[in-house]
């Protein structure tokens, strides 16, 4: 190979080396630029609109995801707490009356109904106490005056009921328990209007429906 061909070949080789180096430098620079300039993905996306169910009888609402609390978040207020604490005492008096029926009621259907009432309210008390315990709240508040709760019967009336038997007991029981249940429905209505805890809202609504059914069943006995 003559000198001219060596020079031509060498020039081409040098050009290829230079071009390769330029490409590598460009790639390296691009990678460094990308590592510096590439924007980081946002950790939280834009707010999403979600549908929030309303209380019974109310329309649903729409809000941002930031405004929605987790399902286990604390959402109760003082109205919920007072309702639960006072309803425990309210139920306890109903159980006292129901427990008199097995040995004093003259109407066998009334005895059976009273037994079911007492059992249902004992279960509800357990549910109410569990709700308080989950929130580290006491079962009662000394500031509450239980005697002023809607439907509460006086101790004198309870004593008279305990002394009665047969048809006299049946009439007294239906009258007193009907008033007691109607009072509980008033209390349930109060928490449905002013409470904020969804679970307690459901419980209060169930109580109101259940006690309306029991009032009708007592009236159907026609013992008054």
CATH number of the domain where residue 178 is located: 1.20.1260.10
Give the pLDDT band (50/70/90) at residue 6. Answer: very low
Residue at 7 is within a domain: no
Q: Per-residue pLDDT for 50 more than 90?
A: no
pLDDT tens digits, one per residue of 142-177: 888 888 999 999 999 999 999 999 999 999 999 999
- CA 212 to CA 216: how far, in whole Å? 6
Residue at 5 is within a domain: no
- CA 7 to CA 167: how far, in whole Å? 130
Both tokens of 31, joined, read 């990678």
Task: Note the maximum CA span of the chain.
Answer: 137
Half-sphere exposure of 2 (CA within 13 A, CB side): 1
Q: Where are the alpha helices (DSSP H) in the chain?
A: 3-37, 78-98, 101-104, 108-134, 155-163, 166-194, 198-220
The secondary element (H helix, E strand) that includes residue 51 is strand 49-52
Please give the average per-residue pLDDT across 136-143, as a whole number.
92
Residue at 129 is within a domain: yes
Q: What is the pLDDT of residue 187?
A: 96
Give the pLDDT band (50/70/90) at residue 57. Answer: low
Percentage of the residues of the chain whose pLDDT score is greater than 70: 67
Residue labelled with tokens 């106490």: 129
Contact 151, 178 (CB under 8 A): no
CA angle 95, 197, 63 (to 5 degrees): 160
User: Average model confidence (pLDDT) for the chain?
Assistant: 79
Residue at 145 is within a domain: yes
Q: How many domains does the chain have?
A: 1
**Range with top average pLDDT, 8-22, 31-45, 58-72:** 58-72
Please give the average per-residue pLDDT across 104-127, as a whole number.
96
Backbone phi, then psi, for 62, in 5-degree steps? -120, 135
Backbone phi, then psi, for 51, in 5-degree steps? -90, 125
Residue 41 vs residue 79, higher pLDDT: 79
Residue at 124 is within a domain: yes
Residue 179 vs residue 47, higher pLDDT: 179
Residue at 68 is within a domain: no
- CA 171 to CA 81: how far, in whole Å? 34
Question: Torsion angle, CA of 167/169/170/173, rounded to 10 degrees?
Answer: 160
> Which residues does 71 contact at the CB level (< 8 Å), separation at least 6?
none
Residue at 10 is within a domain: no
pLDDT tens digits, one per residue of 76-86: 999 999 999 99
Cα Rg of the chain, angstroms: 38
- CA 126 to CA 133: how far, in whole Å? 10
pLDDT tens digits, one per residue of 176-199: 999 999 999 999 999 999 999 999
Which residues pair with residue 64 across a beta bridge? 49
Q: Per-residue pLDDT for 66 more than 80?
A: no
Supply the range of the domain harboring residue 107: 78-220
How many Å separate Cα 62 from the centre of its chain? 19
Q: Per-residue pLDDT for 46 more than 60?
A: no
Residue at 214 is within a domain: yes
Contact 139, 188 (CB under 8 A): no
Q: What is the pLDDT of residue 13?
A: 42
């Amino acid at each position: 190979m003559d000198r001219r061909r060596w020079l031509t070949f060498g020039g081409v080789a040098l050009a290829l080396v230079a071009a390769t180096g330029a490409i590598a430098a460009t790639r390296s620079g691009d990678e460094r630029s990308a590592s510096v300039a590439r924007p980081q993905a946002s950790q939280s996306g834009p707010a999403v609109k979600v549908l929030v169910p309303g209380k019974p009888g109310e329309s649903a609402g729409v809000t941002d995801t930031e405004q929605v609390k987790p399902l286990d978040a604390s959402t109760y207020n003082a109205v919920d707490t007072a309702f639960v604490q006072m309803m425990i005492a309210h139920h306890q008096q109903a159980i006292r009356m129901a427990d008199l029926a097995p040995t004093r009621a003259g109407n066998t259907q009334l005895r059976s109904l009273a037994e079911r009432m007492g059992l249902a309210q004992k279960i509800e008390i357990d549910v109410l106490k569990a709700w308080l315990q989950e929130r580290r709240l006491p079962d009662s508040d000394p500031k509450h005056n239980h005697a002023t709760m809607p439907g509460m019967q006086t101790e004198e009336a309870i004593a008279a009921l305990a002394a009665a038997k047969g048809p006299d007991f049946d009439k007294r029981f239906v009258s007193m328990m009907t008033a007691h249940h109607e009072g509980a429905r008033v209390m349930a209505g109060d928490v449905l209007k002013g409470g904020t805890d969804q679970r307690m809202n459901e419980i209060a609504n169930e109580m109101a429906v259940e006690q309306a059914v029991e009032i009708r069943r007592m009236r159907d006995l026609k013992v008054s």
